[in-house]
Amino acid sequence: MNKDFLTLLDFSSEEMHTLLQRASELKSGKESASCPLIGKSIGLLFDKTSTRTRISFQTGIYQLGAQAIYINTKDMQLGRGETVEDTARVLARYLHGIVIRTYAHSTIEKLAENAGIPVINGLTDLHHPCQALADAMTIMEKKGQLKDVRLAYIGDGNNVANSLIEAALLTGLDLVIACPRGYDPDRKIMERVLSGGGRVRIVSEPEEAVRDADVLYTDTWISMGQEREVERRKKIFAKYQINQKLLSLARPDAIVMHCLPAHRGEEITDEVIDSPQSVVIDQAENRLHTQKALLEMLIK
C-alpha cells in the first residue's frame, strides 16, 4: 500500500473495497470503543476554507484516539516563504500524518516526497479523493453495488469529477459526464482510466447523460480559487443545472448527490436538493466513516 493518499489511484481496487467495508463497520458502531491511534498527532493544513473535510477529519481523529492540530497555512511560516520541503521535514518529526487542502496538486506531491509520514489529500485543484471515498460508500449503501451503476455527473470537469473518474476505474461504476466544451475533466486522468478499462464517457448534453442514470451528481460551477470567473462561468454552465425536469429523465429511483457546499439555484435547485431523492446529507456523513477507515489504514 502507498504511504500517502494523494489521489484515489494510490489505492488498488481491492484496497478501496476493504476501506469501504471497514467504513461501514465503523458506521454500524461495532468498533466504537477502539482507539487505534491513541497518543498520535495528525496535522490538518488548510489553504482553503472547509466545513465537512475539516470537521469530519477533526472528529474522526479524536474518535480514533489521536489529536488533530488544525493550522490555517496563513499562520505558518509557509505563508512567509518557508519552503514546502523544509516544512515537510520538520512536521514529520512531530506528527504521525498530515491532511492538507491546497491549490496546486504539485504542492502536496512535494510535501509527500519530503515527509516520511503519510500525507492525505483533503482537496487540491486537481483531485478530491476523500470525497470520492464517501461518494462510493453512499452509492453502495443506496444501490447495493458499485459495479455497473450508471452515474451521470453534470457540470464542471473539476477536482470532484476527476476523482469520480478514478473511482470508476476502481469500482466498475459506469460514469457519464456532461460538461461544456473546454470544461472537461483532466485529460491525463481520463486517458489513464480509459486505458485501464474504466467506463467513462463525456457528452455535452445533460439530457443525454441522465438517460437511464441511477445517480445524478453535480458540484459548484465555481471552485475555490476561480472567484474571478464567476460571471463567465454562470453563463457557460447555465444549462448544466440539476432541476426537476432533468431529474425526471433519469430512472425513477435515481438518487441525487452533491459533495456540498451547494450553490442553490445555480448547479442544483432547492426542489431537487431538498427532495426525497437527494442523499446529500448521508453523503456528507460518510466523509467521517470513510476517513476514519482511511486513517486506520495509513497511520502507523
Catalytic residue positions, numbered = 101, 128, 131, 219, 259, 287
Residues from 225 through 264 that contact ligand NVA (CB under 6 A): 259
Which residues contact residue 27 at a Cβ distance below 8 angstroms, ignoring those fewer than 6 apart?
286, 289
Work out the burial of residue 235: count CB atoms within 10 Å of its CB; fewer than 13 is exposed, 13-18 middle, 19 or more buried: exposed
3-state secondary structure at position 108: helix
| CB contact set of 23 (below 8 Å; sequence gap of 6+) | 133, 137, 286, 289, 290, 292, 293
Using CB under 6 A, which of the segments 11-19, 47-55, 175-183, 240-248 binds ligand CP?
47-55
Contact predicate 132/163, CB 8 Å: yes
Q: Which is nearer to ligand CP, 92 or 154 (CB)?
A: 154
Distance CA 53, CA 288 (A): 8
Nearer to ligand NVA, 53 or 114 (CB): 53
By CB under 6 A, is residue 127 in contact with ligand CP? no
What is the nearest approach in angstroms of ligand CP to the Cβ of residue 27?
18
72 lines the binding site for ligand CP (CB under 6 A):
no
The answer to the question of residue 259 lying near ligand CP (CB under 6 A) is yes
Query: Rounded to the nearest whole angstrom, what is the least distance from the CB of residue 86 to ligand CP in the complex?
Result: 27
**CA atoms within 13 A of residue 41's CA, in its CB half-sphere:** 10
Stretch that binds ligand CP, among 48-56, 71-79, 138-146, 184-192 (CB under 6 A): 48-56
d(CA 246, CA 139): 20
Among 13, 51, 77, 275, binds ligand CP (CB under 6 A): 51
Distance in angstroms (rounded) separating the CA atoms of residues 258 and 280: 6
Q: What is the 3-state secondary structure (H, E, C) of 44-57?
A: EEECCCCCHHHHHH
What's the min distance (Å) between Cβ of 207 and ligand CP? 26
The half-sphere exposure of 7 on its side-chain side, counting CA atoms within 13 A, is 20
| Secondary structure of residue 193 in the 3-state scheme | helix
C-alpha 296/C-alpha 35 separation (Å) is 10
Q: Which of 22, 40, 52, 233 binds ligand CP (CB under 6 A)?
A: 52
- The reply to whether 53 sits near ligand CP by the rule CB under 6 A is yes
Output the nine-digit C-alpha cell for 202: 463525456
Pick the closer one to ligand CP by CB: 19 or 92: 19
Does position 186 bind ligand NVA by CB under 6 A?
A: no
Which residue among 159, 163, 241, 290 contacts ligand NVA (CB under 6 A)? 159
Binding pattern to ligand NVA, positions 258-297, x when CB under 6 A? -x--------------------------------------
Q: With CB cut-offs between 5 and 8 Å by kind, which of ligand CP, ligand NVA, none does residue 51 bind?
A: ligand CP
Of 8, 130, 140, 160, the one binding ligand NVA by CB under 6 A: 160
By the 8 A CB rule, do 250 and 227 touch? Answer: no
Residues that bind ligand NVA (CB under 6 A): 123, 158-160, 219-220, 223-224, 259
Residues that bind ligand CP (CB under 6 A): 50-53, 123, 131, 259-261
